[in-house]
Amino acid sequence: MELNAEQKRAAEFAGDDVLVLAGAGTGKTSTIVARVVHLTKIGVDPRRILLLTFTRRAAREMRHRLTQQIGSSAKTVPTGTFHNFCLQYLRRWPDLFECGSLTIIDRDDQLQLMKLARANVVGKDAAFPKSAELANYYSYARNTNRPVAEYLAEFTDHDEDAIKRISSVLQDYTKRKHECRYFDYDDILHLFARQLHRSRIVREKMQSRYDHILVDEMQDTNPLQWLILDGMRDPAKLFCVGDDAQSIYAFRGADFRNVHSFTERVAGAQVLKLEQNYRSTQEILDLSNWLLDQSSLGYDKHLRAARGPGIKPVLVELDGDFEEADWVASDLMQRHEDGDPWRDHMILTRSAWAARSVEAALIENDIPYRFIGGTQLLQSAHVKDLLSLLRVIDNPADQLAWMRYLTLWPRIGEKTAATTIGKLLTMPNIKAISEFLADQYKTNPRLAESITECLTCWDRPSDVIGAATDKMTPLLEKKYDDWDRRSKDLKLLQRLAAKHQSVGEFLETYTLDPITESEASNEDVDDLVTLITVHSAKGTEAPVCYLIGVQPGNYPHVRSIGDDDKEEEERRVLYVAMTRAQNELFLTGTLRSHGAYVPHHNRFYQSGGSSSQPYFLSDVPPELVQSDLDIDTDPFDAPITSFRG
DNA sequence: AAGCTCTGCTTTTTT
DNA sequence: AGCAGAGCTT
């Protein structure tokens, strides 16, 4: 791998701590990988180099690139997400971290539990924040490491009384969590960080474990994650790579300004810069640079293309989202016919929901694709039904799973289930519970049989799923009228499970790293179009990128309008999206919405995008883009132009 | 207490 | 389109 001078300087940095400011496409991943290679070359034990990322995708990519460079010893370099890394130590030393056994719950379970807590504290009160909002408050406060009440007082409009009530709901939520031995995503980081700062033993153990800590996407670290880094560094040296213009995780407590305070937080730290862009053509960068220049914040970023000129980005304006989806699909098919592989194309979307019509068009036209960031396979109702059975066996204290499992059966509703759960929680093991259930529900023998059946093959995850599916099919068939379609997912699940050592490990892997249906079913296919949310796409690239939904109301998103910080983050989201493209960039959008649901808070722009609605591209200089007017608007009755001229 | 039907509301982004 | 809640029947 060839490095340029600035990359080489970063990779071979010999001082203590360093922050590498790396613009989009400047070879950030290559530089981190080169850093690891360099460290091993000068004699650092690979096991003492820690590589932290924010997403599993990034971790996978990093490990892949590292394997290409140094072969099998890449496996010995600990690489993972913050969550993964922390969880590993909570499991290894449960006593040191004072956590015992734990069950990780996903956002759905969190919301379910929050709903119970909310109902318990406030009863019915439509004006009171919904459970999703409460969960967001809770998570944000913890990720920024501040007391909830303080955060609420400062950042929301709630009065003192409301704050009190919200706090008590959150307290109730916490209590319920402990009862079931549940740990949500934030708990993983929080527990680790707390012990790291509270217990001298933990701190000494962790600080002596690594010589170098390499952090990707530093601009996305929130205060909680910083506590983790700060607790583990020194003597371990920090090598942090980031770009303030690509900070798009403020909703999770990250503040892009933190990148700038690195030198204040870490005494003697140096700052290096990577500015040469290797990914895109100059035209793509010109538009991206222009977008940042429009900001009131001085990003002071001007990416230069090492590759030189190419094709201007194309603005395509369609009549509605179906037309947009069709346009993208037919353009893809045209290119594929012309010999371009599917894998050269990436479709970027602001939200998973906005990608629905495009996904439909891809399916309709048999275009192979994988959707990253979309509805997760394990979140679909029928899969959760089935998994609830595995969960109760894995952790008999898992009340949410019991509730789901028991209420699946006829004549068992919430009330009955709750009484039953109350009784079975006092029992010593799953064996006793299943005997109790067999006795309790004689009219539904399958309820208990399913449990015993799964137990007979518990050490073979894929067989367990098979057994559970067999036992529960009659039940699920009745519950879902599109069962034929849904039952395929359970087969998929069985295939996925085959790769795992134990049911517990299988469940946990997919709680922490959910997988979409299209990803799971296309695991062995590699020529695919990638449909991806902008947030998931950070760090990736493709020769041809379609950015869908580029229209007023999306960039900036309606929910951010009026809040300068949020609007600026939206600008960065669009910037990240644009800078994924290597050769060609299409920006598609519609100015009118066609019968689609438009939430009342953004009704005002329904009639057209011209009005006062802020829109980042509303005055894009014409010389920076091509318009589709030149491409496809030949009216049907226009005079024919002879090719002889 | 369970289960059915009807109505109204919802959709940002991730671990 | 799918889900939660209300209100009704079994």
Alpha-carbon distance values, A21 to A25, A241, A304, A339, A605 (Å): 12, 6, 15, 38, 38
The distance (Å) linking the CA of A424 with the C1' of C2 is: 33
Amino acid symbol at A230: D
Identify the weakest region by mean pLDDT among A306-310, A359-363, A402-406, A414-418: A414-418
- Residues of A annotated in the binding site, as ranges? 22-29
Checking DSSP bridges between strand A345-349 and strand A529-533, what pairing results, if any?
parallel
Identify the weakest region by mean pLDDT among A295-299, A597-601, A629-633: A597-601
Q: Do A419 and A403 meet the contact criterion of CB atoms below 8 Å apart?
A: no
Which residues have CB under 7 A from strand C? A 115, 124, 381, 597
The distance (Å) linking the CA of A393 with the C1' of C8 is: 37
Of A449, A448, A453, A446, the C-alpha closest to A474 is: A446
Checking DSSP bridges between strand A79-81 and strand A49-53, what pairing results, if any?
parallel
For residue A356 the two structure tokens come to: 């629905």
For C10, nearest residue by CA–C1' is A411
pLDDT score for A108: 84
CA distance A155 to A196: 29
Amino acid symbol at A252: R
The distance (Å) linking the CA of A599 with the C1' of B9 is: 9
Ramachandran angles phi, psi of A268, nearest 5°:
80, 5
- Above 50 in pLDDT, residue A505? yes
Nucleotides of B under 7 A from a protein CB: 1-3, 10-15
Q: Bridge partners of A454?
A: none
pLDDT digits (tens, 9 = 90+) for A587-597: 998 865 443 44
Nucleotides of C under 7 A from a protein CB: 1, 3, 5-6
Of A109, A159, A174, the C-alpha closest to A129 is: A159
Looking at chain A, how many residues does it have?
A: 645
Using C1' positions and the CA of A130, the closest nucleotide is: C4
In what helix (H) or strand (E) does residue A252 lie, and over which residues does it extend? none
Using C1' positions and the CA of A139, the closest nucleotide is: B15
pLDDT score for A601: 38
CA distance A57 to A60: 5
Residue with tokens 């995780």: A249
pLDDT digits (tens, 9 = 90+) for A506-536: 988 888 877 787 788 877 788 999 999 999 8
Of A504, A482, A474, A478, the C-alpha closest to A387 is: A504
- Kindly state the average pLDDT of the residues A408-433: 86
Residue with tokens 């010109």: A286
Using C1' positions and the CA of A111, the closest nucleotide is: C4
The distance (Å) linking the CA of A603 with the C1' of B10 is: 14
CA distance A171 to A112: 15
For C1, nearest residue by CA–C1' is A597
The distance (Å) linking the CA of A557 with the C1' of B12 is: 8
Q: Bridge partners of A542?
A: A581
The distance (Å) linking the CA of A144 with the C1' of C4 is: 32
For residue A245 the two structure tokens come to: 């213009």
Confidence label for A629 from pLDDT (cuts 50, 70 and 90)? low
Confidence label for A645 from pLDDT (cuts 50, 70 and 90)? low
Alpha-carbon distance values, A431 to A103, A173, A424, A468 (Å): 20, 29, 11, 17
pLDDT score for A636: 59
Ramachandran angles phi, psi of A321, nearest 5°:
-75, -25
Ramachandran angles phi, psi of A44, nearest 5°:
-75, 135
- Residues of A annotated in the binding site for ATP, as ranges? 22-29
- Above 70 in pLDDT, residue A635? no
- Above 60 in pLDDT, residue A610? no
Of A197, A293, A214, A211, the C-alpha closest to A22 is: A214
- Three-state DSSP state, A298: coil
Dihedral of CA atoms A9, A11, A12, A18 in degrees, nearest 10, equals: 80
CA distance A124 to A166: 14
For residue A196 the two structure tokens come to: 């790291």
- Above 90 in pLDDT, residue A418? no
pLDDT digits (tens, 9 = 90+) for A27-36: 999 999 999 9
Using C1' positions and the CA of A352, the closest nucleotide is: B12
**How crowded is residue A408: how many other Cβ atoms within 10 Å of its Cβ?**
21
Preceding omega of A556 cis (within 30 degrees of 0)? yes
Q: Bridge partners of A588?
A: A316
The distance (Å) linking the CA of A608 with the C1' of B2 is: 49
The distance (Å) linking the CA of A532 with the C1' of B13 is: 12
pLDDT digits (tens, 9 = 90+) for A339-389: 999 999 999 999 888 888 898 899 889 999 988 876 677 778 888 888 889
For residue A248 the two structure tokens come to: 């798009």
Per the rule left: phi > 0, alpha: psi between -120 and 50, beta: everything else, A181 is left
pLDDT score for A595: 39
For B3, nearest residue by CA–C1' is A411
Q: Do A176 and A117 meet the contact criterion of CB atoms below 8 Å apart?
A: yes
Q: Do A571 and A610 meet the contact criterion of CB atoms below 8 Å apart?
A: no
Amino acid symbol at A36: V
Using C1' positions and the CA of A249, the closest nucleotide is: B13
Confidence label for A260 from pLDDT (cuts 50, 70 and 90)? confident
Which residues, other chains included, contact A104 with Cβ-Cβ below 8 Å and sequence gap of 6+?
A: A87, A182, A183, A184, A185, A188, A508, A511, A512
Which residues, other chains included, contact A638 with Cβ-Cβ below 8 Å and sequence gap of 6+?
A: none
Using C1' positions and the CA of A554, the closest nucleotide is: B12
pLDDT score for A1: 65
